[in-house]
Amino acid sequence: MNTPSAAAAPQPFSSSASQPAPASQPAPVSHRLSRFADPAYRVTFWRSFLSSWYKITHTGSIRWVTVCGVVVTVLFAAIITFSFATLDEMGAILSPSKLQITANYVALVGMMVLAMLFFLAFGALSVTNEYSVGTMRITALADASRIREFLGRGLAIWLYALVVGIVVLLATLLCLALFGVGFSTSGPMLSVYLLYAPVLACSSLLAMGVGYALRSSAGAIVLTVAVILLGDLVRLIPIKFVQEQLVQFLPHAAFPAALTPEETRHIVMDVTDQYLPQWAGFLVFLAWTIGACAIGFAKYRKSDV
């Protein structure tokens, strides 16, 4: 009788054969969670600034407001310059040097409120446009640091407004030269030339802060215009301290004071006593700008976009 082969003999029970293969262990976690954590993609202040600059310069509403603001402001400045060039009575009253300073001052500072309306508009639109189209959430998620995003946008809008202000300044000076009035190189007007664009740029920053706080284009523009024109209402309060002292520290009086040297006070004699010194006016308007930005950032930092 044939005996069974060893291969046919029953094998002893093995517990390892009945258990599933162990799962593969995950790879050690790297300090870079994804390829976007690579230094080539890391979010920096410079990249945040460039992102804000690109959005500001490629937003249609901001482009239209900028073009309209430059054209309208320069057009009115040209009309004022032409009036000074054709009025012989002004030459009989003022000396040639004073006439030139007066024409320069009125062409620039006289149009300041009109120009500031446009600067306030695109300053607010630089923020509220993102809330309107729903991209602010993406912006906040792209940069974990909200203060970096806020400062990057602030620098971008300030530089953009500064460039636009310089364009308006140069175009106005060109009108003064073309109509034969010329631009004054005296000390008083040099300070006006130097501070003209920075003051307008600060007004855009003020509107940006209000835009962060309100998140509404219409609301931000209306509120900033109301703040700028607040002094006309405050002056109606029949209290001497309010009419003579407090009104000097409101934006509507601070920004003209920043552009009104002592030598040009005769041009605005009716409100000269309500103007701060030039350096004080600039600092007060800068304080209003910083205050608006601080309120806007406080709202942006705590809000759920």
Task: Report pLDDT digits (tens) over 81-90.
Answer: 888 777 755 5
**Using an 8 Å Cβ cutoff, are 101 and 186 in contact?**
yes
- Phi-psi sector, 134: left (phi>0), alpha (psi -120 to 50), beta: left
Task: List pLDDT tens digits, range 25-83.
Answer: 555 544 444 445 556 667 889 999 999 999 999 999 999 999 999 999 999 999 988 88
* Angle subtended by helix axes 146-178 and 96-109, to nearest 10: 140
**3-state class (DSSP) for residue 22:** coil
d(C-alpha 207, C-alpha 224), whole Å: 6
Does the pLDDT at position 158 exceed 90?
yes
Residue 6: per-residue pLDDT: 47
**Using an 8 Å Cβ cutoff, are 158 and 204 in contact?**
yes
d(C-alpha 95, C-alpha 104), whole Å: 14
Task: List pLDDT tens digits, range 248-292.
Answer: 888 888 888 888 887 777 665 455 456 788 899 999 999 999 999
Q: How far is CA 148 from the centre of its chain?
A: 15
d(C-alpha 171, C-alpha 107), whole Å: 11
d(C-alpha 168, C-alpha 172), whole Å: 6
For residue 291, count other CB atoms closer than 10 A to its CB.
12
For residue 64, count other CB atoms closer than 10 A to its CB.
13
Residue 95: per-residue pLDDT: 65
CA dihedral 172, 175, 176, 182 (to 10 degrees): 110
Q: Nearest CA to 71 among 145, 149, 172, 163?
A: 172
